[in-house]
Amino acid sequence: MNINKINLRAAFAGETRFELQPHPPAPFRALQENEFERLKTKLLAEELARATPEQNAPLRRAANEAAALAWATAVPLLVFPALFEEKITAAARHAERQARIFNRSCDLAVV
């Protein structure tokens, strides 16, 4: 049994209330969509003008991938050109590698 028994009296302050303002989960981007599409179309048209017809599909795929990644950021219009350039470079490297493999396999098949 505990001999040291102390009765404590609880004292509470007055009730506190907070005013909370809800924030939207994501910024509204409908106004940016037209501008973003114009930028994407302009950059893609410039690349397609320099490319061969075989590069059409990989370039469009690279543009779509860069657009998807850019929309996941807070500033897609700023990020898209850099992502597009990276994706175009990667697509060109991939096409060159595939061409080398094809040429090498043709040489092996002839022998």
Tens digits of residue pLDDT in 17-57: 878 777 666 556 666 788 999 999 999 999 999 988 888 99
Q: How many CB atoms lie within 10 A of CB 102?
A: 10
Neighbouring CB atoms inside 10 A of 48's CB total 15
Q: Does residue 92 sit within a domain?
A: yes
Q: What is the DSSP letter of 54?
A: G
Residue 52 lies in domain: 30-110
User: Per the domain annotation, does 25 fall within a domain?
Assistant: no
Amino acid occupying residue 29:
R
The tokens describing 42, both together, are 């302009």
Query: For all residues of the chain together, what is the average pLDDT?
Result: 86
Q: How many domains does the chain have?
A: 1
Q: What is the C-alpha separation between 110 and 9, in angstroms, rounded?
A: 98
Asked whether residue 83 is assigned to any structural domain, the reply reads yes
Q: What pTM, to 2 d.p., does this model score?
A: 0.66
